[in-house]
Amino acid sequence: MHAPVTVREFETVARDRLHPAHYDYFAGGAGDEITVRANEAAFARLALLPRVLRGAGRPRTETTLLGSRVATPVLVAPTAFHRLADPEGEKATARAAAAAGTIMIVSMAATVAVGDVAAAAPGATLWFQLYIQPDMAFTEAIVRRAEAAGCTALVVTVDSPARGRHDRDVRNGFDDLPEGMRCENLRDDDRVSDGDGDGDGDGGAGPVRSIVMSPEISWEHVDLLRRMTSLPIVLKGVTHPADARLAVEHGVSAVYVSNHGGRQLDTVPAAVELLPEIVAAVGGAVPVLVDGGIRRGTDVVKALALGASAVAVGRPVIWGLAADGERGVSRVLGLLRDEVEHALTLCGVASVHDLEPGLVRRC
């Protein structure tokens, strides 16, 4: 095959390179994967209605999010197990994100410890994704590690009171990481270094815990977390407008609309369909982020026009990583940036800040 020129072609290359069970783990979702398909399909049902003769010039894509400059508002969504896709794993992803001038949200289920990800990508802006653990002392230990690594926000995922059921994984018998790979952020000690004492950042041999997804977690835990850290909190996995309002009341710094890429509750609507209602509920109090199904620059432009301050991409980054490591992720992020610029130009828009809902029509 020729070198991939679209995000979807990167998926084809990645599929060829990955172990079939690992491809299924990355590509799949919950239940009948109705939400997985809906996320992408919803973008196809939205049309762009360009303006002409605006003399807008070359569009500007840079913006600021929670105090960090980004070259293009396309963030790396938190996804687990990058070392299944490339031996360098999250280190490669972080370097590519830094080179693209964007933010990487490091998953709590990363296969490289967050401190080691930061060390491998100097200058990267990293946010840390957290599942609040019922053992708040353990939650605090993880938060301290993220702070020590220099992460500048906590992305708290709240759509997971239980693990999503992924039939593909059951069918493939995929229920554990291969030998030599584990969730390094789940180390059961309070050491901030890589844990093996040799300073090489390769992780220690100490035990790791499993992530607990608990239905006991509530707004009280979000309040506790706010008191525990001065890092801004981004609430990820909000789909109901009432929860978006509660999030603002509880003092979060951003609301992140997401159905987890269709991997938690199946039949939740497409993320971009939920966006306008959430934006209205938040009423400009804090920025709104969105992910799910973004595969083209035009998808990014639609989401921004509907009121998102930024978007994030999950699987596209995995496809880049599996296809060609750090270079592949750079290519995917570069493709999306070029497509965003091109779409803005064709829309007659001068800057990502000038996008407005009138540019988008339902068809």
Ligand X SMILES: Cc1cc2nc3c(=O)[nH]c(=O)nc-3n(C[C@H](O)[C@H](O)[C@H](O)COP(=O)(O)O)c2cc1C
Closer of 101 and 316 to ligand X (Cβ): 316
Give the contacts of 167 (CB within 8 A, at least 6 positions apart). 28, 31
Helix (H) or strand (E) holding 195: none
255, 313, 336, 349: which one contacts ligand X (CB under 6 A)?
313
C-alpha closest to that of 154 among 245, 227, 263: 227
Nearer to ligand X, 77 or 303 (CB): 77
Report in angstroms how near the CB of residue 80 gets to ligand X at its nearest: 4
- Indicate which single residue of 61, 72, 79, 133 sits in contact with ligand X (rule: CB under 6 A): 79
Tell me the number of residues near ligand X by CB under 6 A. 22
Residue 44 CB contacts under 8 Å (≥ 6 apart), including other chains: none
Length reported for the chain: 363
Q: Would the CA dihedral through 4, 317, 240, 48 be positive or negative?
A: negative
**Which residues between 7 and 66 bind ligand X (CB under 6 A)?**
26, 39
Which one of residues 82, 145, 187, 263 is an interface residue with ligand X (CB under 6 A)?
A: 263
CA–CA gap between residue 75 and residue 89 (Å, rounded): 17
| Angle made by CA atoms 127, 200, 196, in degrees to the nearest 5 | 95
Of residues 325-354, which lie at the interface with ligand X (CB under 6 A)? none
Q: Is 201 near ligand X (CB under 6 A)?
A: no
- Told to check if 292 binds ligand X by CB under 6 A, we report yes
Q: How far apart are CA 203 and CA 191, in angstroms?
A: 11
Strands 63-65 and 68-70 turn out to be: antiparallel
- Residue of 82, 166, 221, 260 with catalytic role: 260
Is residue 260 among the annotated active site residues? Answer: yes
Q: Whose Cβ is closer to ligand X: residue 95's or residue 263's?
A: 263
Secondary structure element (H or E) that encloses residue 333, with its range: helix 315-347
What is the nearest approach in angstroms of ligand X to the Cβ of residue 82? 9
Query: Residue 139 interacts with ligand X (CB under 6 A)?
Result: no
| Part of the chain binding ligand X (CB under 6 A), chosen from 3-11, 94-102, 118-126, 288-296 | 288-296
CB of 311 vs ligand X, minimal distance in Å: 9
293 binds ligand X (CB under 6 A): yes
Residues catalogued as catalytic: 260
